[in-house]
Structure 1
């Protein structure tokens, strides 16, 4: 029975029942039952064959030299005995138990494999999304520094150093699952400084942060597409450009808010023109913060307004 248990657990059920070949499974089980029955009968006969079995239908008769001859009832009728019933019940229980364990183990392993596949798929998607954001950001920032260089500004070198810091952040931190929220704020602040340099009145751009930014961790580069979008569609070459960014944290709930005017001819197409950034942010939020975020985007009254809430609690 022990041999039957491990045979069914490690070979029979995995190679037949789990693959749907019921005929093979039942046929091999019948063969195993026959082998078990024969082995048990041999052991039983070897143990009890020399023992006389008295009959109760009359006294023994004399034979040979007057010795009474024992009445031997012959081999036990295994198919009609409680012994056969015991073998059958034991066989069924052993097969059922080992099959259940094998099926449960196979289901657990498949579930673990599926979870690993999903995890690897999500990781690959996130890597692609981050790569999509980076060239877009770099393209816009280099255009800004080119504009500054054409003006022959003495601040060009300082802004190149800022860009260097930004690229360093993107290379060494953007690939992390989480970064310190304070690092993300510095990254945004440097980017906004780079954008302010081409505005008529840089003071019209507001960037405020409230709450504890030192202890929380966050997915990197979540907000930069919204910031890029604001400067892309909310900047006018001859008018003041009021742009507002606010980040606040309360009870581990992060609130990001941005608002900018939409000037004529600069209407953002959320799924196309700004699509390298904002739709990807939506995907990343869904992957990293499922059921823990709320994002609303409003484009009424000639303004582009974003409200993003993220629950950063474990």
Structure 2
């Protein structure tokens, strides 16, 4: 395919030169007269220009639109409209530039009658329908050429679409692996694990009933990030449960001046989603939205309605964050999410990151599709 892609422009040029010139090479010797060639050449070039225009309309618009929208009715209507336009233009050309008969001299032989027919003084005989000159043989040739050109354009469009899909899938796979590895490095960070384990140790010393629950939650969190995130898609409910586990562990270290709310609404059991899309925003909210002495409120909300998911995360901005005195890796997770959204949800998402007064807000909107998630439930 590298050769075809590299020289595709030249291949188009050579192909059309052969397509236009081949009929001239197949002319019988007795019609090589200037008047006939001029008449034939004018009409042939105009017809070929129409067919070439249809070829590229089909290649660049009709077939790609069908492959993207899967609407056979619209595709058939487009082909029919193009076919009618080509036939109408062909009849117009036939009536504006009637073909000339071969310029032969009658021969005093048994074939004189035939020679007289070939030496017709003007356009050769043709049928007329409603006053319009019609050449059945020529129309048949136009229909065959139209079908050939249309089939060729569709085959090339199908091939190009298949190559783009395959390249996109490969790119998505590589990008997903790269993004997930980078996010896992951020999420399973020693700082987070040390704080969580210290909180669990404190609970154990206090002989708190929450100790076992904290250990189970941490285990579920790590299991999801290591195993479930390897799938292309996961049930939306599992992704929400993962966020809930993360928030629950973070709440263990909050003081009375700090609060976190996490809510979700709508049908979360009918959809699948790319894993680990929301956790970088939640992690940043905890990383930069909590202050040891000042009041801190973090709000996380997820709403599903009419195949649309809206995720929002809001946290306060303190002097350190406003001055930009934050670790250099603070935006890596968000950039990874932006890349994955562009790959997996093209033209189906919007992401807004806004700073208003002393608060930072993330608003992510996704257009979802109903999926069969029964096989993913445990």
TM-score range, shorter chain: 0.5 to 0.7
1:305 aligns with 2:356: no
1:121 to 171, 179, 183: 171
In structure 2, what is the equivalent of residue 144 of structure 1?
195
1:295, CA displacement in angstroms?
2.3
Distance in 1 (alpha carbons) for counterparts of 2:204 and 2:298 = 24
Question: Structure 2 vs 1, CA of residues 300 and 104 (structure 1 numbering), >3 Å: closer, same or farther?
Answer: closer
1:147, CA displacement in angstroms?
4.0
Q: Is residue 271–residue 369 contact of structure 2 (8 Å, CA) maintained in 1?
A: no
1:225, CA displacement in angstroms?
0.8
In structure 1, what is the equivalent of residue 352 of structure 2?
296
Q: Deviations over 1:171-208 (max 9, x none)?
A: 33213232222111110111011111222138711112
Question: Structure 2 vs 1, CA of residues 23 and 104 (structure 1 numbering), >3 Å: closer, same or farther?
Answer: closer
In structure 2, what is the equivalent of residue 6 of structure 1?
none
Structure 1 stretch 160-169 or stretch 262-271: which is displaced more? 262-271
Q: Deviations over 1:114-157 (max 9, x none)?
A: 23212322332233222221110000532322543675744666
Q: Is residue 257–residue 293 contact of structure 2 (8 Å, CA) maintained in 1?
A: no
**1:1-314, aligned counterparts within 5 Å?**
18=11, 21=14, 101-102=151-152, 104-139=154-189, 140-148=191-199, 151=202, 153-154=204-205, 158-201=213-256, 204-267=259-322, 273-313=329-369
In structure 1, what is the equivalent of residue 38 of structure 2?
none
**Residue aligned with 1:266, SS:** helix
**Residue aligned with 1:199, SS:** coil
Question: Which structure has the larger Rg?
Answer: 1
Distance in 1 (alpha carbons) for counterparts of 2:343 and 2:361 = 23
In structure 2, what is the equivalent of residue 84 of structure 1?
none
1:168, CA displacement in angstroms?
1.5
Q: Is residue 245–residue 259 contact of structure 1 (8 Å, CA) maintained in 2?
A: yes
Distance in 2 (alpha carbons) for counterparts of 1:208 and 1:33 = 77
Taking only aligned residues, the RMSD between alpha carbons, in angstroms, comes to 4.4
Q: Deviations over 1:194-231 (max 9, x none)?
A: 11122213871111222222222222211111110011
Distance in 2 (alpha carbons) for counterparts of 1:233 and 1:196 = 15
Q: Deviations over 1:59-99 (max 9, x none)?
A: xxxxxxxxxxxx998xx99xx89xxxxxxx9xx88899767
When normalised by structure 2's length, the TM-score is: 0.56
When normalised by structure 1's length, the TM-score is: 0.65
Higher percent of residues as helix: 2
Alignment coverage as a number of residue pairs: 267
Distance in 2 (alpha carbons) for counterparts of 1:301 and 1:127 = 37
Q: Is residue 253–residue 312 contact of structure 1 (8 Å, CA) maintained in 2?
A: yes
Distance in 2 (alpha carbons) for counterparts of 1:212 and 1:96 = 50
**Residue aligned with 2:319, SS:** coil
Q: Is residue 204–residue 242 contact of structure 1 (8 Å, CA) maintained in 2?
A: yes
Distance in 1 (alpha carbons) for counterparts of 2:257 and 2:167 = 48
Distance in 2 (alpha carbons) for counterparts of 1:187 and 1:268 = 32
Distance in 2 (alpha carbons) for counterparts of 1:233 and 1:159 = 23
